[in-house]
């Protein structure tokens, strides 16, 4: 019996590699998002702490001004992190769409492979039956002579 060889196997391997690469990119983006969220949470906590410190203690005007500037700086940093998070979320969404497309392509190739394999089996069975018929015909003709 001949061995089945899928004619698009190399294409399928490449598609699977792309799928894996996209999954790794999504994982990296998720890690980046987690890191950014952690940093933003840390900055928010720092901002709350400084704001509480400003309201609970009586401080000099110069200290109040510098503390207020520090709070403003923290808020700018938080805003910057939130924009970075939004950017990462958009990239993640694009990669997820790309991953869905790759999965569809792979699924199509798997269906083609299965159909080709079924056709291969049918041809193999047909070839075997033809060989058996020829042997039976020779045996029949040989016994009748």
Q: What is the mean pLDDT of each run of 10 residues along the chain (145 residues)?
A: 87 96 98 97 93 79 83 95 98 98 96 95 92 84 70
Residue 88 covered by a domain: yes
CB distance 64 to 2 below 8 Å:
no
Residue 124 covered by a domain: no
Distance CA 71, CA 58 (A): 17
Count structural domains, the chain. 1
Residue 121 covered by a domain: no
Q: Which domain holds residue 83?
A: 9-105
**pTM score above 0.85:** no
| 29 class by beta-carbon count within 10 Å (0-12 exposed, 13-18 middle, 19+ buried) | buried
Residue 20 covered by a domain: yes
């Amino acid at each position: 019996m001949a061995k089945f060889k899928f004619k698009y196997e190399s294409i399928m391997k490449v598609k699977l590699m792309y799928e894996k690469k996209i999954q790794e990119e999504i994982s990296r983006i998720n890690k980046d998002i987690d890191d950014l969220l952690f940093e933003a949470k840390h900055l928010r906590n720092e901002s709350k702490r400084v704001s509480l410190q400003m309201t609970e203690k009586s401080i000099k005007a110069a200290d109040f001004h510098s503390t207020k500037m520090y709070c403003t700086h923290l808020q700018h940093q938080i805003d910057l992190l939130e924009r970075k998070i939004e950017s990462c979320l958009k990239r993640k969404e694009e990669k997820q769409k790309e991953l869905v497309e790759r999965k569809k392509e792979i699924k199509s190739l798997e269906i083609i492979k299965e159909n080709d394999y079924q056709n291969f089996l049918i041809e193999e069975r047909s070839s075997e039956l033809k060989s058996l018929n020829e042997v039976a015909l020779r045996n029949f003709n040989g016994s009748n002579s």
